[in-house]
Amino acid sequence: MPEPNQSGLSDNSAGALAYVTFIPAIIFLVVEPYNKSAYVKFHAWQSIFMGIACFAFSFINIIPILGQIIYLLGMLAIFIAWIIVLIKASKGERYKLPFIGNLAEKQAGA
């Protein structure tokens, strides 16, 4: 189980907070002691890659009707995945999303 940092914010909290937006994720990758924790770095990178995937996926919404239906279903799936990783991170678990999780693990060096 990850240890609390001296700032008072535990790795679990930092990992979960990284999923709120990409801003805390980037901050955790830059600021010590969080940038030394493989756990926090993994969640920060996974959050950033989820944001990039969301942005890229939004272009399918341009296609009339079918693209919009696929977009809505995809965004629902991404929202559910976001809730899952947020809960898992707050419990101290490292939940890897397909493909994105492997990229995050590679970037975090874990």
Using N-to-C axis directions, what is the helix angle for 38-57 and 66-90, rounded to 10°? 170
Q: Tell me the C-alpha distance between 97 and 3, whole Å.
A: 24
Q: Tell me the C-alpha distance between 104 and 96, whole Å.
A: 8
Residue 41 CB partners (closer than 8 Å, separation 6+): 28, 29, 34, 35, 107, 108, 109, 110
| pLDDT given at position 8 | 62
Please say whether the beta carbons of 97 and 46 come within 8 A.
yes
| pLDDT given at position 86 | 94
Domain boundaries, the chain: 11-103
Q: For the segment 9-22, what is each residue's pLDDT rounded down to a tens digit?
A: 888 899 999 999 88
Angle ∠(52,54,59) on CA atoms, nearest 5 = 105
Phi, psi of 60 (to 5 degrees): -70, -20
Query: How would residue 2 be classed by pLDDT, with cut points 50, 70 and 90?
Result: low
Q: For the segment 42-74, what is each residue's pLDDT rounded down to a tens digit?
A: 999 999 999 999 998 889 989 899 999 999 999
Q: For the segment 73-101, what is each residue's pLDDT rounded down to a tens digit?
A: 999 999 999 999 999 999 999 899 999 99
pTM, two decimals, is 0.84
Task: Inform me whether the pLDDT recorded for 6 exceeds 60.
Answer: no
Residue 2 or 48, more confident? 48
